[in-house]
Amino acid sequence: MATSPRIRHIEGRLQSHPSQDGDGVHIQRIHRFDGELDPFLMLDELGSDRPDDYIGGFPPHPHRGIQTLTYIVHGGITHEDHLGHRSSIQAGDAQWMHTGRGIVHSEMPLSDSQGLHGFQLWLNLPAREKMSEPRYRDVRSDEMPRLTAGKAELIALGGDWTTQAGDSVAGPLESLAGNGAVAHVRLAAGGELSLATSRETLAVYVFEGALQIAGEEVVAGQLARLGDGDTLALASPEGAQCLVLAGTPHGEPIAHYGPFVMNHAHEIDQALRDYRGGRFTG
């Protein structure tokens, strides 16, 4: 006997706030290092048609204990790191970096006729993986499968995605921390999309237009955190775009300092000593 879908409702909202990082890059940021969005830690949106807002980029800097996922809507990013990786991504592409025990990299913006628009998501690594070998991967737009349903389209960057109608895709990034899944959803005016997902952590960040989630409106620049259930119901009378994030919490303590995320303060101290002592690149 079929059971009725349990619609997931909004439990909390986070508003992005203006910030700067790197060499004066203007961003809109949401960060939760208290575990509220576990395994997700931070989401930065870079978006401007003014080169002065982003041209300085992100000169060489270290990371330890996290994964980063960079996704480009317009423009591009060139990545270089101490392991010898160097590549550029353009509109529709993504870069994934598993920093593990340590990586030093730079990210320099590329613009197109619409300037630069992209995102960087931080995912927390579980304690057992924080000192693992660093890894890196590019994913091109044509590698990302799509689900279409009427006036809705889902682009799967990573993880498994299934509609209530039973159509499913798996994104190419299968090693996102916390069993993570990330998708870009576009809804044309009057579009609707229902996704089957019971992951404990589920969040939707709207970056264009306004979206209705189980009948409640979420506007651009807001992230909605969803409660329990098995169905995410999205709709937009006038059209919208969003990122959908799903994952399984680690449930571990979080210690954060700048580009380092560990479990305890003494591990942060060790990361600082290792970086200052040149042991990230040795």
pLDDT of 279 reads: 84
Q: Which residue has the tokens 């913006």?
A: 109
Please state, as a whole number, how many other Cβ atoms lie within 10 Å of the Cβ of residue 265: 11
Question: How much is the pLDDT for 167?
Answer: 95
List of E strands, 91-200: 94-98, 103-110, 116-124, 135-139, 146-149, 152-158, 160-162, 168-170, 181-187, 191-196
d(CA 202, CA 192): 18
Q: Which of the given ranges, 47-51, 86-90, 120-124, has the highest pLDDT on average?
A: 120-124
Q: What structural domains does the chain harbor? A: 10-269 (2.60.120.10)
- pLDDT per residue over 199-216, tens digit each? 999 999 999 999 999 999
Confirm if 188 and 240 have CB atoms less than 8 A apart. no
Q: Is the per-residue pLDDT at 58 higher than 90? A: no
Query: CA 230, CA 148: separation in Å to the nearest integer?
Result: 20
Confidence of residue 247 (pLDDT cuts 50, 70, 90): very high
Bridge partners (DSSP) of residue 203 are 225, 245
Whether this prediction's pTM lies above 0.85 is answered by yes
Q: State pLDDT tens for residues 95-151.
A: 999 999 999 999 888 877 677 899 999 999 999 999 999 999 999 999 999 999 889
